[in-house]
Amino acid sequence: MTLNSTLRDAAFRWIADDPDDGSRAELQAVLARAMGGDAGAAEDLAGRMAGPLEFGTAGLRGPVRAGPNGMNVAVVTRTTAGVAEWLKAHGHGGALVVVGRDARHGSEAFATAAAEVLTAAGFDVKVFPRPLPTPVLAFAVGRLGAVAGIQITASHNPPADNGYKLYDATGGQIVPPSDGEIERAIEAAPAAVGVPREPGAEVTDLLDRYLDEVATLPMGHERAVRVAATALHGVGAETLRAAFERAGLTDLHLVDAQAVPDPDFPTVSFPNPEEPGATDLLLALASDVDADLAIALDPDADRCALGVRERDGRWRMLRGDETGVLLGSYVLSTVDRTVLPDPLVATTIVSSSMLGEIAKAEGARYAETLTGFKWLVRAGDGLVFAYEEALGLCVNPGFVRDKDGIAAATLAAGFAAQLKAQGRTPLDVLDELAQHHGVHLTDQVSLRVTDLAVRGRLMAKVRETPPSRLGGVEVVLEDLLPDADVVRLTGEGVRVVVRPSGTEPKLKAYLQVVAPVTGALTDARGAAQERLTALRADVEELLA
């Protein structure tokens, strides 16, 4: 690729408007190489200038780099200026906003920029004294009565990324039309160099109050349980240990190599507990210490994955749906019906439908929402539990209106302690749920793309020429447009949901097979697995 004058001039304008010395120098160096004929630098520059990063309901996420299509101080400054104008337009001028951060590259500088822009705009701003899990920020918004909360985090994205997550006055993540309103306000914001910034935000620490609430979760009286855990180089280890201690759970073993926050994530290529290899060190530790339960947090500790020992002694991580129904059934069993006679549990349209069967058997209400916790926490009154298959769990909607890996991990450990005292394991509970409600097997086909237009073409292909059969059964298509860019294909005991990811350059298909248990559970699982294998092959061909 060669540098053209339009790209060159756009880069010069961005450099002139960038208030940060480091990112300005970074872009100048790339531009200089491109002007010198370096084709790779020209391509790099084109990628950096291809933005701006789109502000959606997940906020911003992108690589930490100079230019409008990256996470940097200039982008965060203009974004926060837009957020400030949006808050003022909704009558929240001068109100309280809380700013938190994780420990990724750039997080401290980005959080400082956001706090200073809000302070200069006349808001009462409180900031955390150190990197803390995202659930603590969500807790603080509700506890302090803030009109918004900003967490600088890229959650479980690759090491090169960072992001900007926004909570509104409900304590939950923003939903439409707020994202569109904010994006237009960002577009109208002045160049970053012209956005006023002012220090003076108040440092506040609500961690103790958050931990006090976590300790009130319904964990029973048993505490004899050994847990192996990892924070995957994120910010969760210290808070998880403190939560366990506050709850009386003292036999915790952390993966030392992954316990200290490290933005380079040296032992994992992709710090997501769902990714192959990410939990290898955890499962090795669980085996070494003879643990009863393994727990993996993602880097900002809002997601939680559980690992269990199979009956042959091997360790494996549970799928998100297995963890969801396991903890969902437990939470429902702890609800005091004299206080909350009509509890609600919720999951998403791509998660296992078993939670609905459990709710029906327990006389509880059940809701399915679009993907994302922004929708789940708005599922209805009386919500006691929500989960999504991507390891998001909310066991504590009364004080965190979002997924919370710390609270979920603590509750899971308490539950495991009760099971251990009864001579049972989480696998026994999963077997019992399958016996009562049928075998529900889930899987996912994930297609990573470099050109986002590929996702649109594939979605159009499925809509225009839908398959008549999948996994050996007839299926019908349901199109969820205009509410969501999602198609659902359903047949007898089969369901496939296809959608573009909202946070990653992927097209995802979520598979489910349901089989009744009429004889031996192992036979039902075997038959369901055969159907799931056939279904996966058909879906892979569909999306090829």
Active site residues: 155
Distance in angstroms (rounded) separating the CA atoms of residues 234 and 265: 8
Q: Name the nearest CA neighbour of 163 among 233, 97, 114, 96.
A: 114
19-41: string of b/e by CB count within 10 Å (b at 16+)?
bbeebbebbeebbebbeeebeeb
Interatomic CA distance for residues 252 and 227, integer angstroms: 5
Q: How far does the chain reach from its first CA to its final CA, in angstroms?
A: 29
Residue 378 CB-density burial (10 A; 0-12 exposed, 13-18 middle, 19+ buried): middle
Sequential DSSP letters for 69-89? TSBSHHHHHHHHHHHHHHHHH
Q: Cβ(366)–Cβ(355) under 8 Å? A: yes
- Residue pair 515/524 in contact (Cβ under 8 Å)? The answer is yes
Return the residue matching tokens 């997501």: 272
The CA distance from 326 to 357, in Å, is 13
Cβ neighbours of 527 (radius 10 Å):
17
b/e for 93-114, b at 16 or more Cβ within 10 A? eebbbbbbbbbbbbbebbbbbb
- Residue 325 identity (one-letter amino acid): V
Whose CA is closest to 384, among 409, 414, 355, 352?
A: 355
How far apart are the C-alpha atoms of 327 and 416, rounded to whole Å? 10
CA angle 412, 418, 423 (to 5 degrees): 120
Q: Which DSSP helix (H) or strand (E) runs through 290?
A: none
- What per-residue string of b and e applies to 293-309 under the rule 16 or more CB within 10 Å gives b? bbbbbbbbbbbbbbbbb
Q: What is the rounded distance in angstroms from the CA atom of residue 316 to the CA atom of residue 350?
A: 23
Question: Using the 8-state DSSP alphabet, how is residue 271 labeled?
Answer: -
| Structure-token match 């380079």, residue found | 264
